Amino acid sequence: MTERIAFQLQIAPAMVDEYVARHTPVWPEMLAEIAASGRRNYSLFLGEGGRLFGYYETDDDEAARTYLAASPVAARWEAAMAEFFVGLVGRADQAATPLVEVFNLHDQLTASGA
């Protein structure tokens, strides 16, 4: 079953432009590791004041986290990105707290038979 994972992080407001620049584009080897971990349909959205919202889908989030935790490429990426986050202890790919999903259109339409 597909898990939908959403999370929120805070980027230091003064570093937002540099954060965006480092994602334009992300290292090809990091993109490959994200895909190899089983994460897909992965997006990041930037809000006012450096509020960052992320979303991805996976069949096994624990396995994806474990894969990335052991990846030397992900370790280098996360070390390079650590300076951007406010109030985060540990690597963003391991320490971001998932948000609770309260509504999904597809699930409710399916349940209602519509």
Checking 26-31 for CB contacts under 8 A at 24+ apart, the result is 26/77, 27/73, 27/77, 29/73, 30/73, 30/74, 30/77
Q: Between 72-81 and 28-37, two packed helices, what is the crossing angle to 10 degrees?
A: 120
Catalytic entry in 13, 18, 20, 23:
23
23 is catalytic: yes
Peptide bond into 25 cis (omega under 30): yes
Looking at the annotation, which residues are catalytic?
23
